[in-house]
Amino acid sequence: MNLMPRSLLVMLALALPAVAAGPVLRVADPVSPPTWALLQRQLLDANAAACRKFFARYFDERGFLLCVERWGGDDGPDDAPENVGGWAQLHALGGADDVLAMYRTAWEGHLRQYTLAKTVEVPLARDGMYYKEFPVMFDWQHNGEGLRLFNLQGLSDPGNNNYRQRVRRYAGFYMNEDPGAPNYDPRHKIIRSMINGSRGPLMRKATGLDWAGDPIEVENRFHLGHGERSYAEMVAHFKDYNDVVGDHPLNLIATTLPLNAYLLTGEAKYRKWLIGYVDAWVDRMKRNNDIIPSNIGLDGTIGGATEGKWYGGTYGWGFTVVIPQTGGPAHRNRQHWGFVGFMNAYFLTGDDRYLESWRKQTARVNAAKRTIDGRVMYPRMFGDKGWYGWVPQPYSYNQLEIYYLSMKTQDRRFLENDPWLKYLDGNNPGYPEQALRADLAEVRQRAIAMDTDTTTPDTRLADDPAQFNPARVAALRQTMTAGLDPGRRASIWHCRLRYFDPSRRRAGIPEDCAALIDRMTDDTTRVTLVNTNQLAPRELIVQAGAYAEHTIKSVRRDGKSTLVDGPTLNVRLAPGAGTTLTFTVDRHSRRPTIVFPWDRD
């Protein structure tokens, strides 16, 4: 054992207790609980209380959402679990135990609910909207939204047997391990249709009916998210969503499924498939003047299913449709959602070429700028006549994610005014308290708004309650973990640090504890840890990365540096104690895992 001077009140133990992971740091320095720490604890508690109210209002004891079940892009199975969006992060941050119980019930319930729910006229879902506990076939804008919860369940629930089985099954749908779901062509490295799922790919043109779902009464009953006033307008909204055969960048979101399986099992086949599929897209970008094409034909050629047009297809670069209510145009280019696949490949490899591909695309699009009526304008669309869809802002999709992963100064372009990044630079000291108070206010407002909701189960669609979902985790995620928002694209969680409670054997920062990351560079992370309980000690495990993908090389406290050389550090905080630690980290240097620290070999 290495004993530091008692004046520092720190002891680093080499021998680990049964529940410890990594070296042990004992902290006895008393601190007055800072305001940000008290706000974090209050926000965790307020979130949980409001979630209980929300769950009791909108779900039954089976976890069924109290709504009219629908199929389609207007409202469908994916919208049901979106109502508990943010709950997986809330528990993983340290939210109450029953947050996990509630969202697990909601997930299980919606799987059963939408397996039982069937369409009458839409051919895709006549035998159930789900099959083998997965969407029968739909696009990955919607599939991804519906999997937001599941893809983060492993943060808190990696031992759940249902989760473990589904992780393998879902990945298998895209690795041709299920003969009933031939979604992938390994020769051309394509997912064969933009609409795909547990029953395989849709190998014909899609119709407005496929997208809109069965006929339904609208007027005086439902308020649709796209503003349609009748079922006829619902079908008209989707009437041009036809060209779906062949691969599309949206399908890159599906790479999170084999990534989940790799995080669970460590089996090389999942990593190999993911890297191989993303690499095929990197090559296509190179061959298409650094722009990601929005259609790949069944023969593997760029634009092969859209008359050779690299910009063709539903949700493609040239996908402009008519709004039925107004007759005006709507630009619906969704290729940038596919960046999730590039993030997944970078996460596994740390290889900058996955980010460089996107930097080049950004530069190409912005190079097409032109001056219109005296203003510099930038395109968002490309069609038969070239670039169009002009806006005054430069093309900068995914720029925060690129900078976060690379930590390169040149990737800070377009992010000059980001308040969180300014705080991490030391230029916005009030940000933590402001952000935490804002989220507290939002929790209160949404809880109050639930009481004004006049919908009933027969006048409520699946996405209607989402506006009242009280889980507000952005400020907690940023201040505690320096993490990105997984968002609606089914991303995993990218963060610098996360926390575990070894005493209670669960994910999340222990009761009464708080953490504030106030500095972050390429190879360092500075965090202040506080035990707000003045009577009882607390123990926590600090892990580098959501999945132990980073290595803590050393930790510095009060000018003294100690070797760690692993993914975790065990910290024991005396009653009312706190400390500031600076970690030197080697990012993306370890094989990631969802296994809890005390269960690893």
Same domain, yes or no: 315 and 174: yes
pLDDT exceeds cutoff 90 at 137: yes
Residue 372 lies in a domain: yes
Assess whether 370 and 259 both reside in one domain. yes
Hey, what's the torsion of the CAs at 362, 363, 369, 374, to 10 degrees? 100
402, 433, 468 — which closes off a domain? 402
Domain presence at residue 425: no
- Whole-number percent of the chain with pLDDT over 70: 96
In tens, the pLDDT along 288-303 reads 999 999 999 999 999 9
Provide the pLDDT for residue 13: 29
| Predicted confidence (pLDDT) at residue 417 exceeds the cutoff of 50 | yes
pLDDT value for 17:
36
Q: Which CATH number belongs to the domain containing residue 561 in this structure?
A: 2.60.40.1180
Digit-coded pLDDT (tens) for 11-25: 332 233 344 456 899
Write the pLDDT tens digit of every residue in 119-133: 999 999 999 999 999
Q: Indicate if the alpha-carbon torsion angle 445, 450, 455, 460 is positive or negative.
A: positive
- What is the distance, to the nearest Å, from the Cα of residue 155 to the centroid of all Cα atoms in its chain? 12
* Residue 534 in domain: yes
Q: Is residue 13 part of a domain?
A: yes
Note the pLDDT tens digit of each residue in 514-537.
Answer: 999 999 999 999 999 999 999 999
Which residue segment(s) compose the domain that 245 sits in? 158-206+241-402
186 plus 331 within the same structural domain: yes
Mean pLDDT across the stretch 265-276?
98
Q: Are residues 376 and 518 in the same domain?
A: no
Classify residue 454: in a domain, yes or no: no
Q: Structure tokens of 124?
A: 């895709």
394 and 503 co-located in one domain: no
pLDDT(311) > 60: yes
Q: How far is Cα 235 from Cα 256, in angstroms, rounded to an integer? A: 31
Same domain? For 394 and 513 the reply is no
Q: How far apart are CA 420 and CA 481, in angstroms?
A: 12
Across 128-145, average pLDDT = 98
- Which has the closest alpha carbon to 587: 548, 542, 561? 548
The C-alpha atoms of residue 300 and residue 276 are separated, in whole angstroms, by: 14
Per the domain annotation, does 514 fall within a domain? yes
Residue 224 falls inside a structural domain: no
Cα–Cα distance for residue pair 33/37, rounded to 1 Å: 6
Rama region for 512: left / alpha / beta (φ>0; ψ in -120 to 50; rest) = left
Structural domain ending residue among the three candidates 402, 428, 447: 402
Helix 268-287 to helix 353-367 angle (10° resolution) is 30
pLDDT tens per residue, range 147-173 = 999 999 999 999 999 999 999 999 999
Residues 308, 179 share a domain: yes
Q: 320 and 189 in one domain?
A: yes
Residues 320 and 172 in one domain: yes
Dist CA 195 CA 135 (whole Å): 10
Where does a domain end: 402, 419, 454? 402
Total domains present in the chain: 2
- Predicted local distance difference test score (pLDDT) of residue 21: 54
pLDDT band at 454 (very low <50, low <70, confident <90, very high): very high
388 and 516 together in one domain: no
Instruction: Answer yes or no: are the C-beta atoms of 358 and 398 closer than 8 Å.
Output: yes
* Confidence (pLDDT) at 23: 87
Q: Long-range contact list for 412-419, CB < 8 A, 24+ apart? A: none
pLDDT at 225: 84
Separation CA 565–CA 567 (nearest Å): 7
